[in-house]
Amino acid sequence: MTKYGFATLSAFVFGMGSMFSGNALAVDGDAARGDRLASSCMACHGTEGRSNMPSMYPHLAGRNAQELADLLTAYRDGDIDEPQMTPQAQNLSDQDIADLAVYFSEQEPAE
Ligand code: HEC
């Protein structure tokens, strides 16, 4: 967290969540393009982001798009350094992140 503290980020994420009822409005991404990019994520995060092992690989399906985009940006920029996930995010553009975030936000959530 170099750009902002955790409390600020949380307030932002939860604030966005309550401002928008639809996830897609918060992040300007293309779900169809995100779908294509997401094929590399499913080995760990499960089909359409519903994890088979959520204690290790978090569910992505049906989550707030802004939250997913913020997390992906934090991995990419090194604000979260995690040996499995950081390398996955390193080559993503801002557009890739937005497309992936919108795609996963629109998938049916895990129970
Ligand atoms: C090699 C396995 C692997 C692959 C492939 C992978 N991830 Fe991850 N991902 C992880 C792990 C492990 C974590 C949890 C890391 C942690 O605890 O910080 C994670 C965490 C995340 C998180 C944060 C979730 C949360 O609740 O904190 C997001 C968002 C995410 N991944 C998105 C993606 C996307 C999008 C892709 C494809 C571009 C992808 N991941 C590919 C292993 C993977």
Nearest to 102 by CA among 75, 64, 72, 45: 64
For ligand 1, say whether the CB of 98 is within 6 Å of any of its atoms. no
Q: Whose CA is nearest to atom 16 of ligand 1?
A: 82
What average pLDDT does this structure show over 43-64?
98
Is 43 within 8 Å of 75 (Cβ atoms)? no
Residues in the chain: 111
Q: Which residue has the higher pLDDT, 43 or 7?
A: 43
> For 60-93, what is each residue's pLDDT tens digit?
999 999 999 999 999 999 999 999 999 999 999 9
Residue with tokens 């204690």: 55
For ligand 1, say whether the CB of 74 is within 6 Å of any of its atoms. no
pLDDT at 57: 98
Whole-number average pLDDT of the chain:
87
Residue 14 alpha carbon to ligand 1 centre in Å? 20
Could you tell me which residues come within 8 angstroms of residue 109 by beta carbon, excluding any fewer than 6 positions away? 50, 59, 61, 62, 63
Alpha carbon of 69 to those of 34, 103, 110: distances in Å?
A: 12, 11, 19
Residue with tokens 């294509």: 36
Residue 22 has pLDDT above 90, yes or no: no
Residue 65 alpha carbon to ligand 1 centre in Å? 14
Q: How far apart are CA 78 and CA 12, in angstroms?
A: 20
Nearest to 28 by CA among 76, 89, 79, 99: 99
If one counts every other C-beta atom within 10 angstroms of the C-beta of residue 23, the result is 22
For ligand 1, say whether the CB of 68 is within 6 Å of any of its atoms. yes
